[in-house]
Structure 1
């Protein structure tokens, strides 16, 4: 645990690590699809298809081909694309319904132990999201779900999408801390690898059903991360909270 002697803040990946995006998006998409007479579309498959557009959309910003654009805007553009992929004209829904469905990402539920685990971790550490989600999205999610963040940080604050180094380094700077005083908690090995390259401590948390029962990625730590935990309660125990 010596790597954690100087750690003062835990920053968290959110989609998949703190909240179950797949079930939340599918829950909100199901009645919309049914209302369109498209019961042939599996809401979970629809959520997966929407999520597949996530990284390519952010890469447009990371590459410099597009200025930094907050995730709510990217999600909304991606929603239009997913609907068209399924043979649905977005105009059929109307702007109000499209905007409401887009806010499904604001209404995601935490994993069952997440809030209790975060509450324990907060006793010892500053806790904040280091998410690609924008400020309004993270704030609304936290308010609805009772997620006890000390601050709302992440891509919009840093003006950089993970895994760009600026996303990690600017977050530490905003907290007034050196990189080694900050630990990224994530269920994704790639995120942790990028954080470690920037000097942050790392904690891997297992989320083996983020992508559903047949998930094939991030089922185990790919490197010797500083801490490996089953969930947030286990992480709190391992960090003495």
Structure 2
């Protein structure tokens, strides 16, 4: 299989690729609209006036410092479920959201386990699975990713999580863990993501790379920079387009 390269070298040979590893949040699932929908249910139940889109963006963005702290040493490790809950508790205070029971807070935090896939994700993955091993390579913890796959009918062959390496992406330990468990060389694996920092980290270790554009990840009013790095092997508008470009 040959694909036109985004580099000046003309063509790249992707015949060696045997597995695709996927970033999940934002790339495969639409976390923002899922959180907004759950927030609106809370508004209806409690008469809350909250900008749920803004809260969703903050919830996602403010987890990164906690991930970095979790990797300082073995004793500080916590998984993403715990990080999301700690950030949620702070956001509830910031947005003046009162009156939620502990059960409602737990259920709201579990929204990350039941995110909606983008419309192209399941059909695109099913096409890709005809040829490739499909695996997550996500900062989500294992139970979260399994629940999400069952809820959204995501056809993974296996679930790989940064939790298994005790290192959140883009730490190289997460990508090396995937190579070890897949028993493949880096050039035999393609990292698929909507976030270019993720792809560059994988690329540094020798992975092939596919950039999937998600212009609505941060909502309909965001103006994302979708200018792709010329060094990525594939640039696709969505996962169905990725399958098409890989001749599936």
Residue 220 of structure 1 deviates from its aligned partner by: 2.5
Query: C-alpha deviations, 1:43-75, integer Å up to 9, x for none?
Result: 111211211212122111234496321111111
2:53 equivalent among 28, 44, 64: 44
Matching of residues 1-241 of structure 1 within 5 Å: 1=2, 2-39=12-49, 41-64=50-73, 67-89=76-98, 92-241=99-248
Residue 218 of structure 1 deviates from its aligned partner by: 4.2
Q: Which runs of 5+ in 1 are unaligned?
A: none
Note closer, same or farther for the CA distance 1:195–1:218 as it changes in structure 2 (3 Å cut): farther
Q: Which runs of 5+ in 2 are unaligned?
A: 3-11
Structure 1 contact 3–226 (Cα < 8 Å) conserved: no
- Larger strand fraction of residues: 2
Q: Residues of 1 paired with 2:32 and 2:26: CA distance? A: 8
Structure 2 contact 123–240 (Cα < 8 Å) conserved: yes
Q: Residues of 2 paired with 1:87 and 1:66: CA distance? A: 33
Superposed CA RMSD in Å reads 1.6
Structure 2 contact 48–97 (Cα < 8 Å) conserved: no
Structure 1 contact 206–220 (Cα < 8 Å) conserved: no
Q: Residues of 2 paired with 1:228 and 1:12: CA distance? A: 14
Residue-pair matches, total:
238
Q: Residues of 2 paired with 1:198 and 1:23: CA distance? A: 33
Residue 159 of structure 1 deviates from its aligned partner by: 1.9
Q: Residues of 2 paired with 1:83 and 1:117: CA distance? A: 37
Q: Residues of 2 paired with 1:213 and 1:186: CA distance? A: 20
Query: C-alpha deviations, 1:158-196, integer Å up to 9, x for none?
Result: 221000000111111111111121110001111111110
